[in-house]
């Protein structure tokens, strides 16, 4: 890649990405490997900084794309629950909601209240506790009724006394592969519909009976 960068009287030719970085460093008169971006540095420069930090432990000085890719795969921080989320049996919206759920990033009222001046953070489904993700899916009576009915319908055994127990029970299922994938898919369906029901109650002030949710899932 050839690129000409010009700024006032300063111009130079860059023949590669390495050349671009060398030129930037030369322009700043700093050692690239020791360079730390300032707080107001551009997003792109900060991303390059992360890449640099990642490759500081690369085993050889000579870099090849294929070898680098394999090295990154081995060095990946894939969570132990990763295979629970993405499968062909699941509808994408179910998988995506479950993915956010696993990262504990769903916008429950308690989480929103940390960044805003939200005064009322009570659970909209039971009105008995603060709406945290743990409460929303494992402590709320409405959520428990959802889990009980839907898992009984498909004869699925999952631990529901907290998120850690829930994930552990799904990752340690001693069942045939196809049945295990089906159980994972059902668990994601329940997560999605509990969250969907919560949003309907919050935004439309309308409560769905658990039996109606079961009909929608089957339909």
Comparing C-alpha atoms, which of 173, 215, 203, 191 is closest to residue 83?
A: 173
**pTM score, whole prediction:** 0.65
How many Cα atoms within 13 Å fall on the side-chain side of residue 8?
1
pLDDT at residue 194, as a whole number: 92
- Which residue ranges make up each domain of the chain? 3-74, 82-218
pLDDT at residue 27, as a whole number: 45
pLDDT at residue 135, as a whole number: 95
| Residue ranges in the chain modelled with pLDDT below 70 | 1-32, 75-78, 217-219
- Residue 13 bridge partners (DSSP): 4
pLDDT at residue 3, as a whole number: 42
């Amino acid at each position: 890649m050839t690129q000409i960068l010009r700024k006032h009287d300063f111009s130079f030719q860059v023949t590669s990405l390495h050349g671009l970085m060398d030129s930037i460093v030369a322009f700043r008169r700093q050692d690239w490997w020791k360079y730390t971006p300032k707080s107001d540095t551009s997003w792109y420069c900060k991303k390059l900084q992360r890449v640099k930090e990642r490759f500081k432990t690369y085993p050889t000085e000579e870099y090849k794309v294929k070898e680098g890719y394999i090295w990154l795969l081995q060095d990946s921080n894939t969570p132990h629950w990763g295979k629970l989320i993405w499968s062909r049996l699941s509808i994408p919206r179910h998988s995506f909601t479950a993915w956010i759920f696993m990262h504990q990033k769903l916008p429950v009222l308690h989480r929103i209240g940390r960044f805003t001046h939200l005064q009322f953070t009570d659970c909209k489904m039971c009105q008995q506790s603060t709406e945290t993700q743990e409460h929303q899916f494992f402590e709320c009576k409405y959520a428990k009724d959802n889990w009980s009915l839907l898992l009984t319908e498909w004869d699925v055994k999952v631990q529901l006394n907290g998120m850690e127990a829930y994930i552990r029970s799904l990752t340690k299922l001693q069942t045939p592969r196809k049945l295990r994938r089906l159980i994972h898919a059902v668990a994601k369906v329940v997560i999605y519909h509990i969250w969907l029901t919560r949003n309907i109650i919050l935004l439309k002030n309308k409560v769905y009976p658990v039996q109606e949710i079961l009909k929608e899932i089957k339909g």
